[in-house]
Amino acid sequence: MSEFLRILEDEVQIVALLFMATVYTIRLIWMFRFKAGKEVTEPVGSPRVGVAYSMMNVAMPWAMESARKNLSFYVQFVIFHLGVLMAITATLILPYWPEFFESEPIVRIFQLFMGAAFAVGLIRLIRRITSPVMRLISTPDDYFSVALLTAWFAAGVFAMPNQYEVSEWPLILFFGMTTLFLIYVPFSKISHYLYYPFTRYFLGKTMGHRGVFPRKKGGEKPAGLE
Amino acid sequence: MSDKTINISDVVNLPLDLKEQKKALEQKSTAVLEGKVKVYDPNKDNVKNLLEMLKNRLSRQIVSSLVGCVHCGMCSDSCHYALARPHDPTMTPAYKADQIRQIFKRYIDWTGRIFPWWVHAKTPKNDEDLNRLKNIVFGTCSGCRRCTLNCPMGVDTATLVRLTRGLLTELGIVPEGVFVVDKDSWETGNQMGVSQEDYLETLEWQQEEVQAELDDPNFKISIDKEDCDFMYTVNPREIKYDPRSIGYACKIFHIAGESWTMPSFGWDQTNFGLFSGDDKLGGYIAKNLYEAAKRLRAKRIVISECGHGYRSTRWEGYNWAKYKQDIPSESVLITLIRYINQGLIKVDPSRNPLPITYHDSCNLARSGDITEEPRWILERICTDFREMYPNRSDNFCCTGGGGALSMVEYKPLRMEVAKIKADQLKATGAKLVCTSCHNCVDGLSDLIKHYKLDMQVVQILDLVAEALVIPEKDEKK
C-alpha cells in the first residue's frame, strides 16, 4: 500500500471526521440556543410513550399511510440507508482491520448492499429530475447530495475487495469521496439524521402527551368509561 | 358537479383587500386603535419587520421542522389539495412550508446565508411577495396536519404554516375574513361578535324551548352559578345559527341530574388565534374561559362539539396564555359517554335508523385525542353506523378547516379540492354524515351542496337528543 493511500485511509479520515464532529457540535449548540416550548396542560397520554412511538416510526411502515401506500418507496428507503450503514462501516474497517475483507462472502455482502443502494440512488435521482413535484421542491443541494451518495456507493462496490496490490485507484476514489462526504455533510441535507431525533422527539412528545400517539386503530377504550 | 380546475396563479396573486381594514379605522375600532389587531401600512418596511419577528418567534420545535425537511416529497400523497390537483406541484406541503423555510435559510440558517442559491434560500423582496405568501399559507392549506403525521422525518408543516400566518397577521397582510374575525374576537371576546345581550337572550329562548318540551317550568339554564360540577362552554356559531344544539345539551345535562352552569363572559370555546397564528389573541380568548371557570369555582370545563375549539381550549390555549391548567377540561362527548355508561340517560338507537357515517375532525383526531369516543356513542344511538375510509387520524379534512370558511376568496379552490372528501363520503352510501365539529358541519355542507350528494350533516348531540328517552314524557306516550 502506498503511503498516500495509507494517509488517506487513516489520518485524512480522522481529520475529516473531527471536522464533521466539530461542525455538528456547533450546530447542536446553535439548535439548543432556541428555547423549547413548554407544555403546561394535564396529559391524556404519555409523552414518553409518544416519543418512543415517534422515534420507532421509521421501523413501522404500517403506522404511516405514506409508507403503507408506497411500500416500494419504503423498501428503497431501507436499502438506501442500509447501503449508507455498510459504506460507513467499511470506511472504519478497511484501514484498521483489513483482514475482515479477506473473506469473499463478506466482500460480496458489502458489495450487494452498496450495489443495491447505488441502484436506489439512481432511481431517486431520476425521480427527482423527472417528477414535477420533486423538481419544484428540489434544491441544488438535494441533487448533489443524492448524486454524491450514489457515486460513493459505486466507488464502495469497487473498493470492497481491498486489493490495493492490484490497483489502488478504487480505494483512493472511495476514501477521497468519503473525505469530501465528511466535510460536505454537515452543511447539506444529508445531516438530516442529526435533526431526526429532534423533529421526532418534539412531535412524539406533543402527540404522546395528547394521546394521539400511539395512533389509534379502533377498539381502544374511549375516555369517560373510567 | 364542476370539473373545472382553478388556475393557481389566480389564487396566489389575489390582491390584498383592505376594505374592512379601512372601515375599522374609520369606525375607530378599539382593537385597531389599541394595536391588538394590526392594519397594513404600506409605508412601513414590512419585509424587515417580518424578518425580525421570525427571528423572535423561533422555538427549538419550529427550528427542527425548518431544518429537518429532506424534500422527499412523501407529503404530497397525504394532502387533499395535492391529491385533488395532481397536475399542480405547488400544492405539495413541502413547497408551502418552503415559503417560510427559504426565508429562514437566507436570514438565519448557515448554508443559506453563504450560498443562498445552493439551498434555494431567499428573502421576500417587497410587499407583493408578502401578499403572495399570504395567499399560499391562508389559501392553499387548511392546517389539517395530515402531512405532519405522514412525514417520515416528523416535520410539522402545519405549525410552519401557522407560524407564517402569525407573522403576516402582525403586518395586517391577511385575508379580509381573518382580519374581521380577529377584530371581533378582541372586541367582544368571541369570534362572531355576539353581544352579551344576544347570548343571554338565546340561552333564555333555549331554556323556554326545553321547558316546553319537558313540560317542566323548573328547568333552568343557570348563568354564572358558582360551585357547579362543570362549566359548559359553546361555539358562537351555536348562538348565531344552531341554538338547538345548546338546548339539546342542556336538556341532556338536566335529565342526567347534572349540576352545571354557563358563564356570562368567557363562554367562547373556539379560538381564531389558532387560524390566524396570533398567539396573543389565542391566549386572550382562552384565558377568558379559564378565568371564568376559576371565578365560578367550576370543577370541570366541558367543551361543546367543535374540533378547533376543543384543540384550542383543551390543549393550545393553556400554552398560548402560559396558564397552568388548574381545572380539568373535557369534550362533551366524554360527558355523554359517562351518562350513557352510568345509566344516567337512556337512549333508543331505533330512533336513528338512517345509515350514518362519521367524519373525524382533524383537530379532534390529529391534534386532539378524540377518535373512539364518538364511535362508542354512535354504536349506541343509531342502528346503521358505517365507517368512512380512511378514518381516525388518517381522515381527510372537511376542507373548511384552518379558518377557510371565513376566507371566501379561496372558496373555488376549496371546493375543487373537496373532491377527495366528497368521494370518501359517497363511498359510504350513508344518508347522514355525523361530525363533532361546527366548522366541519359548514365545510361538509358546502361540499355536499357543491358535489350534489344525497346526504345531510348532523352532530353527535343532535343524534343523542333524537335517541334520548325522556322518562316522564315517554311514559305518558
The DSSP code sequence of B102-156 is HHHHHHTSHHHHH-GGGGT-----SHHHHHHHHHHHHHS-----HHHHT-TT---
Q: What is the mean pLDDT of residues B8-16?
A: 96
> For residues B148 and B156, is the Cβ–Cβ distance under 8 A?
yes
- As to burial, measured by CB atoms within 10 angstroms (0-12 exposed, 13-18 middle, 19+ buried), residue B232 is buried
- Window 123-162 of B: residues touching A by CB (8 A cutoff) are 148-156
Question: Per the domain annotation, does B244 fall within a domain?
Answer: yes
Confidence of residue B56 (pLDDT cuts 50, 70, 90): very high
- Segment B106-117 shows an average pLDDT of 94
Same domain (yes/no): B407, B461: yes
The pLDDT value recorded for residue B4 is: 73
A59 contacts chain B (CB < 8 A): no
Is the pLDDT at B99 greater than 80, yes or no?
yes
Window 298-327 of B: residues touching A by CB (8 A cutoff) are: 314-315, 318-319, 322-325
Does residue B340 have a pLDDT over 50?
Answer: yes
Q: How many CB pairs under 8 A join A and B?
A: 187
**In this structure, is residue B1 part of a structural domain?**
no
pLDDT band at B475 (very low <50, low <70, confident <90, very high): low
Find chain B residues with C-beta within 8 A of A54's C-beta.
154
At residue A59, the pLDDT reads 94
The number of C-alpha atoms within 13 Å of B342 and in the hemisphere containing its C-beta is 14
Separation CA B208–CA B82 (nearest Å): 49
Q: What is the percentage of chain B residues whose pLDDT exceeds 90?
A: 97
Based on the domain organization, do B420 and B350 belong to the same domain?
yes
Q: What is the mean pLDDT of residues A19-31?
A: 97
User: d(Cα B236, Cα B164) in Å, to the nearest integer?
Assistant: 26
CA torsion through residues B463, B468, B473, B477, sign: positive
* Chain A touched by B427 (CB under 8 Å): no
Which residue, B313, B341, B369, sits at the end of a domain? Answer: B341
CB contact under 8 A, B337 and A223: yes
pLDDT at B1 over 50: no
Mutant choice from A202, A213, A217 vs B, greatest count of B C-beta within 10 A: A202
Distance (Å) of CA B212 to CA B68, B217, B285: 59, 8, 34
**CA-wise closest residue to A32 among A185, A187, A196, A198:** A198
- ipTM for the complex? 0.96
Q: What pLDDT, on a 0 to 100 scale, did the predictor assign at position B269?
A: 98
Measured between CB atoms, does B71 come within 8 Å of chain A?
Answer: yes
**Average pLDDT of span B5-10:** 92
Q: What CATH number is given to the structural domain containing B77?
A: 1.10.1060
Answer yes or no: do B163 and B264 share one domain: no
Domain span at residue B61? 8-174
Instruction: State the smallest CA–CA distance between residue B84 and chain A in angstroms.
Output: 14
Cβ-in-10-Å burial (0-12, 13-18, 19+) of B246 comes to buried
Maximum Cα interatomic distance, chain A, rounded to a whole number of Å: 74
Rg (CA), chain B: 23
C-alpha cell belonging to residue A43: 396529559
Kindly report, residue by residue over A39-48, the tens digit of the pLDDT: 999 999 999 9
Q: Which residue of B has its CA nearest to A211?
A: B369
Percent of chain B with pLDDT over 70: 98
CB B68 within 8 A of CB A195: yes
pLDDT for B63-97, tens place per residue? 999 999 999 999 999 999 999 999 999 999 999 99
For residues A3-11, give the mean pLDDT.
96
Do residue B22 and residue B142 come from a single domain? Answer: yes
Per DSSP, helices labelled H in chain A are: 3-9, 11-33, 47-56, 65-68, 71-96, 104-130, 132-137, 140-159, 169-184, 192-210
Mean pLDDT calculated for residue range B330-340: 98
Domains and CATH numbers, chain A: 3-27+78-210 (1.20.950.20)
DSSP H or E stretch at residue B255: helix B244-255
Average pLDDT of B247-264? 97
Residue B54: count other Cβ atoms within 10 Å of its Cβ: 20
If you search the block for the grid coordinates 439548535, which residue do you land on?
Answer: A31
Instruction: Kindly state the average pLDDT of the residues B102-113.
Output: 95
What's the total number of domains in chain B?
Answer: 3
Query: Could you read off the pLDDT of A153-206 as tens digits, one per residue?
Result: 999 999 999 898 888 999 999 999 999 999 999 999 999 999 999 999 999 999
Residue listed under C-alpha cell 351555536: B238
Res. B474 pLDDT band, cuts 50 70 90: low
Tell whether A211 is within 8 A of chain B (Cβ).
yes
Helix and strand totals (H; E) in chain B: 27, 10
Does residue B117 belong to the interface with chain A, where contact is any CB pair within 8 Å? Answer: yes
When pLDDT is averaged across residues A108-113 and rounded to a whole number, the result is 97
Name the residue among B70, B319, B392 with its Cβ closest to that of A189.
Answer: B70
- Contact list in B for residue A66 (CB cut-off 8 A) is 74-75, 77-78, 150-152
Chain B positions in Cβ-Cβ contact with residue A134 (cut-off 8 Å): 71, 73
Strands ordered across the beta sheet of B385-386: B385-386, B356-359, B432-435, B456-459
pLDDT band at B476 (very low <50, low <70, confident <90, very high): low
Residues B17 and B96 in one domain: yes
Q: Do B335 and B305 meet the contact criterion of CB atoms below 8 Å apart?
A: no
DSSP letter at B14?
P
B291 and B430 in a single domain? The answer is: no
A114 three-state secondary structure: helix
Residue B75 and residue B167 share a domain: yes
What pLDDT is stored for residue B471 in this prediction?
A: 77
Grade residue B473 by pLDDT with cuts at 50, 70 and 90.
Answer: low
